[in-house]
Amino acid sequence: MAGIRTTLHIGGEKTGTTSIQSFLSSNRSVLRESGILFPTSLGSANHELLAIFASPTAGTEDLKALLGLNSGHALDSLRSSLPSTLLREVSESGCSEVVISNEHCSSRLTEETAVQRVRQILETFSTATRIMIYLRRQDELLLSAYSTSVKAGETRPLRIPERNGLIYYDYLKILNLWAKVFGQSNIIVKIYHEDTLFRGDIIDDFIQTMGFSNLPKTLPRPQLRLNRSLDLTTLEFLRVFNSHIPPILAGRVNPGRSNIVEVLERLSGDSRSCFDSKELARFFALFTPSNSEVARRFLGRADGRLFPESKNDPGQPPPSLDLAEAIRLAAELWAYRHRNS
């Protein structure tokens, strides 16, 4: 195969990736007619199988459990068959461009050997590969990521990460890793902020950055706000709920949770910061030197400024959940279940 260009969108997490993936998957046939393949062999919308394929034994256990790949046999089968399956899909599509999207590539693949495995599978068909990533202010990411982690089963209160947990927020380390394997000239860095996104919209910005000028202007887009953050009370309710009914039980998805997260998203009000603004400022300041280096090296900004000023409201103390609020939410969940049973 000659002349196939691949764009690997590696996130980062909490930068509208769910919306991008929903847009790409719902318009897969139109994209293919335009010569752009959004593969199904790596996942229907989120290409999680790529991160699982490339990851070491640790780091993606939760993804493996959710996809039923937590047995050694299933994982070995995936790793032996995925390269040829993907190659066949690309070859049969006749497309000259391939788009792959998975945010776990930036957050879970933290070793060079894992990123090399990504390069090896892409090189079976791609003659040119570019890596695309959106970056979000670390203080905003911390709050949004905490909401997501609680929805995934976290039981601990929100806290500033320890030093060994900061790589998730250290964009310079992430970019250096991918640039070492794919070359700095092949890294596309975008800023996830309404003031910097094209037309203030993540999908418009993605389309423009990809250069998809020939796509119809009326393609359907996600109608709902996907992967929504929870308000303080609802978030605290779910955190405590997780201690009693965890999402994963004996290595399998726990059916006892049903659609608890989806229902709580519907019941939740507007989310607000649940950390003191001074604590958030101190956390963000940890990355001032590395953010400046990213701005200079990857965006050509001589002033070293990576992000606009935050528009977050001043933070609040961590949430508390009193008995009355817990009963209110439990009653709303009960009523919702009976309305929709």
**Could you read off the pLDDT of 36-92 as tens digits, one per residue?**
999 999 999 999 999 999 987 667 777 877 777 766 777 788 889 999 999 999 999
Q: Is the bond into 68 cis (omega within 30 degrees of 0)?
A: no
At residue 56, what are phi and psi to the nearest 5 degrees? -70, -175
* Alpha-carbon gap, residue 170 to 206, rounded angstroms: 23
Q: Nearest 5°: CA angle at 34, between 32 and 39?
A: 25
Band of the pLDDT at 94, cuts 50, 70, 90?
Answer: very high
pLDDT in tens, 292-335: 999 999 999 999 999 998 765 555 555 567 888 889 889 988 88
Give the E-state strand segments of 145-230 in sequence order.
187-191
Range 166-194 average pLDDT: 95
How much is the pLDDT for 278? 78
Question: Which of these, 96, 125, 102, lies nearest to 114 by C-alpha position?
Answer: 102
At residue 114, does pLDDT exceed 80? yes
CA atoms of 103 and 227, how far apart (whole Å) = 13
Q: 241-285 pLDDT, tens per residue?
A: 999 999 888 878 888 888 898 888 888 876 555 566 778 888 999
Q: How far is the C-alpha of 39 from the C-alpha of 148, rounded, in Å?
A: 26
The DSSP bridge partners found for residue 97 are 5, 36
As a whole-number percent, the residues of the chain with pLDDT over 90 amount to 55
Find the range with the poorest average confidence among 6-20, 124-138, 220-234, 248-262.
Answer: 220-234
At 158, the pLDDT band (50, 70, 90 cuts) reads: confident
CA 175 – CA 184 distance, rounded (Å) = 8
Query: Are the C-beta atoms of 45 and 51 separated by less than 8 Å?
Result: no
Q: What is the pTM of this model?
A: 0.83
Phi, psi for 88 (deg, rounded to 5): -65, -40
H/E stretch holding 101: strand 97-101
Quote the CA–CA distance of 336 and 321 in Å, as a whole number. Answer: 21
> Exposure pattern of 136-173 as b/e (b: 16+ CB <10 Å)?
bbbbbbbbbbbbeebbebbeeebeeeeeeebebbbbbe
Higher per-residue confidence, 196 vs 341? 196
* Tokens linked to 59: 């780091």
143 — pLDDT class (breaks 50, 70, 90): confident
pLDDT tens digit string along 15-45? 999 999 999 999 999 999 999 999 999 999 9
How many angstroms separate the CA atoms of 141 and 174, rounded?
15
Residue 135 pLDDT greater than 70, yes or no: yes
Task: Identify the pLDDT of residue 274.
Answer: 55
Distance CA 229, CA 232 (A): 9
